[in-house]
Structure 1
Amino acid sequence: MNAVVIIPTYNEAQNIAWIVGRVRNAVPDASVLIVDDGSPDGTGELADGLAANDAAVAVLHRAGKEGLGAAYRAGMRWALERGHDVIVEMDADGSHRPEDLPPMLAALDKADVIVGSRWVPGGGVVGWPLYRKAISRVGSAYARFALGVPVRDMTGGYRVFTADALERIDLDAVLSQGYCFQIDMLWHAQVAGLRIREVPITFPERERGNSKMSGAIVLEAMLRVTGWAVGSLPARMRRAAGKQQAAAGVR
């Protein structure tokens, strides 16, 4: 498979060479695209140095910080334009372990979208306090039930998509940023009828640099999910009624 691992960065100078090296060791046949949002700490320049020394590494420079969703959409369009048939989302801080990627890629034989999941049997987190686990689990559960997407880790950002899946999702319709972008992508995947599968991963807390997560990002996600759920309720009720009628006809 012609895979590319997209790593969005903003002030990840401490991590970028370390994480790219781990990716290249874990999946030597995959390419790496670093999408840097004008990091003032020199991450972009370090990324250029990595690309100069490894033909499998490329860098997409963006003018400034516009959010995780915008960075991933730009990287995904870049990958599709260059003919990559498998596209991976991965954070730069090491919480998404490159060593977990081979089984995620192998699972594509039965799915269009792979979610690296912390909340299925075999998955988990390391170094999180109880309140962070609760926030993640409750947020995922709320999004799962509100939107009708049968995925236990709705907010995790370690994902693998086929090129066909991204084409069917329609990236122009996914406008969310940050924490909410991951929910938005899975909701669009569900609406598009794509096969989604979760593969267990271990998610360690970042060791270096600062997290971009905030309470405002979580609140934005929950408000957006509520709006989507209310807006899609009539269509979901029609689909459910249609399934009941079809089942009654079979009987």
Structure 2
Amino acid sequence: MVYKDVPGVPRFQVEEFLKKNSEYCVCIPIINEGERIKRELERARSVQINAIADIIICDGGSKDGSTERSILEPLGVNSVLTKMGPGKQGAQLRMGFWWALERGYKGIITIDGNNKDSIEDIPLFIKRLNEGYDFIQGSRYIKGGKAINTPVIRHLSVKLLHAPIISLTARHHFTDTTNAFRGHSRRYLTHPKVQPFRDIFLTYELLAYLSTRASQLGLKVCEVPVTRAYPKKGKVPTKISFFKGNYDLLRILFSNFLGKYKPEK
């Protein structure tokens, strides 16, 4: 089925393998992740994550064959959403959030699809959502978390720049703010003063905005310990280019700090 006239949501197509089976879902934005997403889903299946949360792939238009039904369905994936409209990660998340809310989930967990994050820790996010938390940030830097082979430049940029600015904007202390392993309550995403379904969120704007808006509104937020592991050698799995990507992240950070993503009404 194709959705093409939803305000604030890019045109997208849905391939539904199974009906809604859980109160929570896991949205995984990917594009051409190849073997990385397969290995991540194999890990999820090994601990039966699909028994406690529906796994939704939010594809940005992969061309590498990694989103074939014959690959994903045996790995426990519930549905695949394929973005057909403009935008990158922010657009993928918007279509995932909208579809998940339409389906009636109580909460939505997000995680990158490049096999860096401890998908086995999803029960921690569900536990916090059941306790009434509205935004849950996964952190490798709190007690119980693990940062494995983190490149020095990334470690320093999070500790000295990204986390302090996000924390100042949010008026709440966060430690691992570039980490997209997060939980979001239905109450948060449907709050009238949040409004995530806007075309301004094309790339990484939505990640920065949702990091800060919950605590600004007095909603319940926390961090949970997770593991983020980079490969010992070889290319770092990321979609952020060193110069343009990092410049865009800085621009987004300061735009968010200045309140440019807050809804006008």
Q: Same fold (TM over 0.5)?
A: yes
Contact 1:113 1:197 in 2 (8 A): yes
Cα distance in 2 for residues equivalent to 1:64 and 1:173: 13
Which residue does 2:115 correspond to in 1?
94
Partners of 1:24 and 1:30 within 8 A in 2: no
Higher mean alpha-carbon deviation, 122-131 vs 68-77, is at 122-131
The match for 1:170 is 195
Q: How many residues were matched structurally?
A: 230
* Residues 1:212 and 2:239 are matched in the alignment: yes
Change in 2 beyond 3 A, CA 1:173/1:37: closer
Q: Which residue matches 1:237?
A: none
Alpha-carbon spacing, 1:54–1:12, altered in 2? closer, same or farther (3 Å): closer
The amino acid of 2:105's aligned partner reads H
Code of the aligned partner of 2:247: L
Matched, 1:72 2:93: yes
Larger mean CA deviation between 26-35 and 219-228 belongs to 219-228
Task: State the 1:115 CA deviation.
Answer: 0.8
Decide whether the 8 Å contact of 1:38 with 1:44 is kept in 2. no
Note the residue ranges of structure 2 that are not aligned, 5 or more in a row: 1-21, 261-265
Give the Cα separation in 2 of the matches to 1:200 and 1:73: 26
C-alpha change, 1:184 and 1:218, in structure 2 (3 Å) is: farther
Distance 1:85 1:110 in 2: 11
- Paired with 1:121 and 1:202, the residues of 2 have a C-alpha distance of 11
Q: Give yes or no for contact 1:174–1:181 (8 Å, CA) kept in 2.
A: no
RMSD: 2.5
Return the offset for 1:33.
Answer: 0.6
Provide the TM-score with structure 2 as the length reference: 0.77
2:138 is aligned with 1:111: no
Greater displacement, 94-103 / 58-67: 58-67
Q: Flag the structure with higher helix content.
A: 1
2:137–2:222 Cα contact (<8 Å) kept:
yes
SS in 1 for 2:114: coil
Give the residue type in structure 2 aligned to 1:130: V
The equivalent residue for 1:221 is: 249
The 3 A distance-change label for structure 1 pair 230 and 37 is closer
Of residues 187, 202, 216 in structure 1, which corresponds to 2:227? 202
**Structure 1 residue 82: Cα displacement:** 0.6
Q: Which amino acid aligns with 2:87?
A: E
Q: Percent identity?
A: 26
Match of 1:6 in 2: 27
The CA deviation at 1:147 is 4.7
Q: Give the 3 Å change call, closer, same or farther, for CA 65–37 of structure 1 in structure 2.
A: farther
Deviations 1:217-250 (A, max 9, x none): 3322222332343458xxxxxxxxxxxxxxxxxx
Query: In the superposition, relative to structure 1, how do residues 179 and 127 fare at CA in structure 2: closer, same or farther (>3 Å)?
Result: farther
**Which SS does the other structure have where 2:80 is aligned?**
strand
Give the 3 Å change call, closer, same or farther, for CA 217–165 of structure 1 in structure 2: same
Q: Deviations over 1:124-153 (max 9, x none)?
A: 311123222101222111222245343222
SS in 2 for 1:41: coil
Q: Give the TM-score normalised by the residue count of structure 1.
A: 0.81
**Structure whose CA Rg is larger:** 1
Amino acid at match of 1:122: G
* Structure 1 runs, 4 residues or longer, greater than 6 Å off: none
| Structural mapping, 1:1-251, within 5 Å | 2-26=23-47, 27=49, 28-45=51-68, 48-50=69-71, 52-53=73-74, 57-63=78-84, 66-108=87-129, 109-138=131-160, 139-168=162-191, 169-173=194-198, 175-206=200-231, 210-215=237-242, 216-231=244-259
Partner SS, residue 254 of structure 2 = helix
Partner-residue secondary structure (3-state), 2:35: coil
Q: Secondary structure at the match of 2:257?
A: helix
1:110 deviates by: 4.5
Write the distance in 1 (CA, Å) between the matches of 2:211 and 2:37: 27
Tell me which moved more, 72-81 or 22-31: 22-31
Q: Specify whether residues 194 and 50 from structure 1 end up closer, same or farther in structure 2 by C-alpha distance, changes over 3 A only.
A: farther
Tell me the distance in 1 between the aligned counterparts of 2:36 and 2:146: 22
CA 1:194–1:17 in 2, change beyond 3 Å: closer, same or farther? Answer: same
